[in-house]
Amino acid sequence: MSYTFLLFDLDHTLLDFESAEETALTQMLEDMNFPDVQAFKDYYKPMNQGLWKDLEQKKISKKDLINSRFAIGFAHFGITVDGAEMALRYQDYISLQGQPFHGAEDLLARLEKAGYQLYGATNGVTAIQQGRLKQSAITPYFKEIFISEQLGTQKPEVAFYEKIGNLIPGFAKEQALMIGDSLTADIAGGNAAGIDTVWYNPDQKENTSPDVPTYVVSDYQELLAILK
């Protein structure tokens, strides 16, 4: 199959979100003199992931997610905070974290040199993602980065991919490939939009979902082998 347009998910695929979140939460909580930083992170991280899954399934809105997650987190420890205000505070910390995975920059450099058109496709919050991308060495390799909040739709909605296609000159879905770590967002969305997909699966998890990717890779070298 010959591809031209490579649509990359960012977090967990190219950007090390775990490292970014860990650093940002630690710095924020320490600056607040929170009594048990590790306990908060242990509760908050899976709770936050659950909210993002709810967003994918349209159970909650992006605004509700952003404005409630810290209120929920602190309430677990008996502390009342303004969720929207705390979200803005956290944004200041996480926006400075643009750590890519080892090898991500080299991957993109090789693909760009090979003539592929590279685009980012992320479900992140606009202000946070733009801030992180300013800090990241991978940003210059993309012709454009599409953020769900700006598009008014998110993965896995078909509209997300349709809007991206309308914004990319000469786009043809038959020549596009969606690459990402999330079966429920990247793979399900690409499949629904009629775009071939690559499941980036470095932990070699078992796929028990109904979402079947076109390809599965466990590292960047395997992705390069597909795109030779």
Together in a domain, 103 and 181: yes
Active site residue 11: yes
| CATH number where 28 lies | 1.10.150.240
Which residue is it, tokens 């685009």? Answer: 119
Together in a domain, 64 and 152: no
Together in a domain, 160 and 71: no
Together in a domain, 135 and 32: no
In this prediction, residue 124 has a pLDDT band, given cuts at 50, 70 and 90, of confident
Q: Is 140 exposed, middle or buried (0-12, 13-18, 19+ CB in 10 A)?
A: exposed
83-94 vs 126-135: helix axis angle to the nearest 10? 20
**For residue range 24-71, what is the model confidence (pLDDT) as tens digits?**
999 999 999 999 999 999 999 999 999 999 998 889 998 999 999 999
Rounded to two decimals, the pTM is 0.90
Of 11, 181, 186, 196, catalytic: 11
Q: How many domains does the chain have?
A: 2
Together in a domain, 88 and 65: yes
Together in a domain, 110 and 145: yes
Range of the domain at 9: 5-16+99-226
Residue that is last in its domain, among 34, 66, 94? 94
Residue/partner pairs of 77-84 with CB below 8 Å, 24 or more apart: 77/36, 77/39, 77/40, 77/43
Of 9, 16, 181, 211, catalytic: 9
Together in a domain, 84 and 105: no
Together in a domain, 123 and 160: yes
Average pLDDT of every residue of the chain: 96
The reported pLDDT for the residue numbered 125 is 87
Together in a domain, 56 and 161: no
Distance from the Cα of residue 23 to its chain's centroid: 17
Residue that is last in its domain, among 40, 62, 94? 94
Together in a domain, 198 and 118: yes
Q: Distance between CA atoms of 2 and 186, rounded to whole angstroms?
A: 20
Residue that is last in its domain, among 94, 127, 155? 94
Together in a domain, 145 and 221: yes
Which residue is it, tokens 């490939």? Answer: 177
| CATH number where 108 lies | 3.40.50.1000
Together in a domain, 26 and 9: no
In this prediction, residue 180 has a pLDDT band, given cuts at 50, 70 and 90, of very high
